[in-house]
């Protein structure tokens, strides 16, 4: 199977009639009149972002999911995607499963694959996905848009992806039941991208929790020049973590990456609207704290309020 | 230097005021009313698309150039680009030069970097670039748009990139002068992307010669359901190749990849207009053959007309 057969067999599916998909020098897309386009690019590298033996169906899903998560964090509705894929060899079984996982989510998200690139990479698998979404001008959920007095909200639950990763890396001993309960959060995240899009014009700032809650929320605080306090006892912890040592839970919840839930801020008057939207989208939301004047991110428990740990979160070059 | 400092230091430059660049979950772009968007993604892998010791300035240039080439082949004007970059380590000298080469061309092309991703890849450097260009609806230079009776045109010259590559790979003995003359074509191509954009509405089909003239022209013939004959003696051969064995020249000219010149078709009545546009853009153009009814690609020399070699061109998985 050569490069062109590979693209045709695995990656050419029907394209909306108003667009031009796989098979020319470029794909073509006609933007809706008056809409802004939000674009995100994420690269996933074998051995760095995923294990070599990960289920390729789940990898196809996750590679697109992390990009849809970025669109949701901007308040944009998915419109189209492009896939650049570098492989050591043509493994049709792997490609079959990978493309199934990818397209299953692409169809759910109404985000057709319009093009991309396939190439050989002697060293390992590299996946780079570009997504484009659309939104009304001036409604983007910018990191710089948090306002003094805003509530801080979080979708979903924290901790499971990190506890799964730590077990797979051997950082903590593997408990079969715990791993089984936490693994889907790591390997098949379902970011609330439709709910994120519905927050455009309702919420202020948003970010998706990819590098860890503390680190990602700090990006909002820095861009918006404000401070925040989050309540440790309000953080929505994945039930599977029950029984683990408290310090481990706190670490995973505050600093664990790969969560792909949304952290966003909104005026307190918007709370009923946010809860209604969340219910309509079947998304769990929790108010975890608030934005205030000053600098820094504080974490409050029953005893005290302290600055959040400095070394939270994931940095690819640290 | 961590991931965020790296992005800030090397990859954050000024963004047009109507767009939002590096530093949020997505970049934002406001399409011009009534325009279509053309998108292309290309991935370059160390050891596969470039040598590990290639000058990083030239690599930064070429990585963007190959994408601009795709826009030109669609008749689109560059609008914005995104860079996903995976590196084994932070080498600031390398990054400085790479980003210089990249931004120098981006500025020339009026194609600002709006975002991307940086990550670690233990195995080697991987570069994936996404470009967006704009064009008027129904003016795209589709591969399927060649018409019976069209002239076939080619920009620039053929052969130099391939002869440079063969010397660097050790396929043919290195001659210092020959390598010096051919190497810029391989390492710092200047695709005629502005000229390509000016052909929208003038030419019919177009493709950029990335995999070899024969293979790429065949894509047009297949998509347009027609045949073509090209004249071997009309092909614009790089002067540096003079004195090389005829069979080697023919191979390089017909099947050598990495050329990034435009091959396009147009009605014979458009010839004066095409020559005027080429002169205005400082681009050399040559009529190399014509489109006719039937199937297949024929090559004509003084003695005979024969089907072009089957095994021309580059396939990443062959």
Can you tell me the ipTM of this complex? 0.87
List the one residue out of B55, B132, B144 whose CA is nearest residue B101: B55
How far is it, in rounded angstroms, from Cα B124 to Cα A123?
7
CA A45 to chain B, closest CA, distance in angstroms equals 6
Contacts across the A-B interface (CB distance below 8 Å): 236
Kind of pairing, strands B77-87 and B151-155? unpaired
Give, as one character, the DSSP assignment of residue A50: B
How far is it, in rounded angstroms, from Cα A121 to Cα A115?
19
Q: Is A25 on the interface with B (CB under 8 A)?
A: yes
Across chain A, mean pLDDT equals: 91
Q: How many CB atoms lie within 10 A of CB B290?
A: 17
Classified as helix, coil or strand, A15 is coil
- Side-by-side strand order, sheet with B285-292: B206-208, B262-266, B151-155, B285-292, B227-231, B296-300, B305-307
> Burial of B138 by CB count in 10 Å (0-12 exposed, 13-18 middle, 19+ buried)?
exposed
E strand or H helix that includes residue A177: helix A176-187
Beta bridge partners of A131: A40, A81
Q: Which of the residue ranges A1-10, A30-39, A138-147, A176-185 would you say has the lowest mean pLDDT?
A: A1-10
Angle between helical axes of A56-74 and A176-187 (0-180°, round to 10): 60
Four-way CATH pick for A143-307: 3.40.50.970, 3.40.50.410, 3.90.650.10, 3.40.1410.10:
3.90.650.10
Report chain B residues whose CB lies below 8 A from the CB of A74: 24-26, 28
List the one residue out of B84, B66, B81, B196 whose CA is nearest residue B131: B81
Query: Is pLDDT of A90 > 90?
Result: no
Tell if the CB–CB gap between A26 and B133 is shorter than 8 Å. yes
Q: Is A42 on the interface with B (CB under 8 A)?
A: yes
CA A302 to chain B, closest CA, distance in angstroms equals 33
Tell if the CB–CB gap between B43 and A82 is shorter than 8 Å. no
Query: Is pLDDT of B310 > 80?
Result: no
- pLDDT at B313 (0 to 100): 52
B293 falls in which pLDDT band (50, 70, 90)?
very high
Across the interface, which of B126, B143, B206 has its CB nearest the CB of A121?
Answer: B126
Across chain B, mean pLDDT equals: 91
E strand or H helix that includes residue A185: helix A176-187
B3-135 with B143-307: one CATH topology? no
Q: Which of A5, A8, A18, A41 to mutate to test the interface with B (most CBs of B within 10 A)?
A: A41
The three-state (H, E, C) secondary structure of chain B, written as one string: CCHHHHHHHHHCCCCCCCCECCCCCCEEECCCCCCEEEEEEEEEEECCCECCCCCHHHHHHHHHHHHHHHHHHHCCEEEEEEEEEEECCCCHHHHHHHHHHHHHHHHHCCCCEEEEEEEECCCCCEEEEEEEEEECCCCCCCHHHCCCCCEEEEECCECHHHHHHHHHHCCCCCCHHHHHHHHHHHHCCCCCHHHHHHCCCCCCCEEECCCCHHHHHHHHHHHHCCEEEEEHHHCCECHHHCCCCHHHHHHHHHHCCCCCCEEEEECHHHHHHHHHHHHHHCCCEEEEEEEECCCEEEEECCCCEEECCCCCCCCCCC
Query: Is pLDDT of A318 > 70?
Result: no
Q: Which of A4, A18, A20, A25 to mutate to test the interface with B (most CBs of B within 10 A)?
A: A25
CA B220 to chain A, closest CA, distance in angstroms equals 9
pLDDT, mean of residues A174-191 = 95
CATH architecture under which domain B3-135 falls: 2-Layer Sandwich (3.30)
Render pLDDT for B8-55 as a digit per residue (tens, 0 to 9): 777 777 666 667 777 777 888 888 888 899 999 999 999 888 999 999
pLDDT, mean of residues B251-259 = 92
CA A114 to chain B, closest CA, distance in angstroms equals 9
By C-alpha distance, the chain A residue nearest B78 is A26
Query: Is pLDDT of B318 > 60?
Result: no
B208 is in an annotated binding site: yes
List the one residue out of A132, A157, A131, A174 whose CA is nearest residue A252: A157
CA B24 to chain A, closest CA, distance in angstroms equals 6
Q: Is A82 on the interface with B (CB under 8 A)?
A: yes
Q: So where are chain A's domains?
A: 3-135, 143-307
> Burial of B25 by CB count in 10 Å (0-12 exposed, 13-18 middle, 19+ buried)?
buried
Give, as one character, the DSSP assignment of residue A311: T
Classified as helix, coil or strand, A159 is coil
By C-alpha distance, the chain A residue nearest B220 is A24
Tell if the CB–CB gap between B45 and A82 is shorter than 8 Å. no
Q: Which of the residue ranges A47-56, A196-205, B282-291 would you say has the lowest mean pLDDT?
A: A47-56
> Burial of B42 by CB count in 10 Å (0-12 exposed, 13-18 middle, 19+ buried)?
buried
B243 is in an annotated binding site: no
């Amino acid at each position: 199977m050569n490069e062109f057969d590979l693209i045709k067999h695995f990656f050419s599916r029907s394209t909306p009639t108003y667009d031009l998909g796989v098979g020319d020098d470029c794909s073509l897309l006609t933007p809706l009149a008056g809409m802004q386009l939000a674009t995100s690019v994420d690269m996933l590298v074998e051995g760095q972002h995923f294990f070599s033996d990960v289920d390729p169906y789940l990898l196809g899903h996750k590679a697109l999911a992390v990009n849809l998560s970025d669109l949701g964090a901007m308040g944009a509705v998915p419109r189209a995607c492009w896939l650049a894929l570098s492989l050591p060899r043509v493994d049709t079984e792997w490609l079959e499963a990978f493309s199934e996982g990818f397209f299953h989510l692409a169809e759910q998200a109404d985000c057709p694959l319009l093009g991309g690139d396939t190439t050989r990479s002697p060293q390992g698998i590299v996946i780079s996905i570009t997504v484009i979404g659309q939104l009304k001008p001036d409604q983007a959920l910018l990191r710089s848009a948090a306002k003094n007095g805003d509530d801080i909200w979080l979708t979903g639950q924290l901790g499971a992806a990190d506890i799964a990763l730590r077990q797979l890396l051997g950082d903590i001993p593997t408990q079969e039941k715990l791993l089984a309960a936490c693994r889907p959060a790591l390997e098949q995240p379902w970011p609330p991208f439709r709910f994120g899009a519905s927050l455009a014009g309702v919420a202020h700032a948003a970010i998706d929790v990819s590098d860890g809650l503390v680190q990602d929320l700090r990006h909002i605080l820095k861009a918006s020049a404000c401070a925040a306090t989050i309540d440790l006892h309000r953080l929505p912890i994945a039930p599977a973590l029950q029984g683990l040592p408290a310090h481990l839970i706190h670490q995973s919840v505050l600093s664990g990456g790969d969560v792909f839930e949304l952290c966003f801020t909104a005026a307190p008057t918007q709370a009923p609207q946010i809860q209604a939207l969340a219910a309509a989208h079947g998304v769990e939301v929790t108010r975890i704290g608030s934005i205030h004047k000053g600098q820094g991110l504080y974490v409050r428990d029953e005893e005290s309020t302290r600055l959040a740990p400095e070394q939270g979160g994931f940095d690819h070059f640290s």
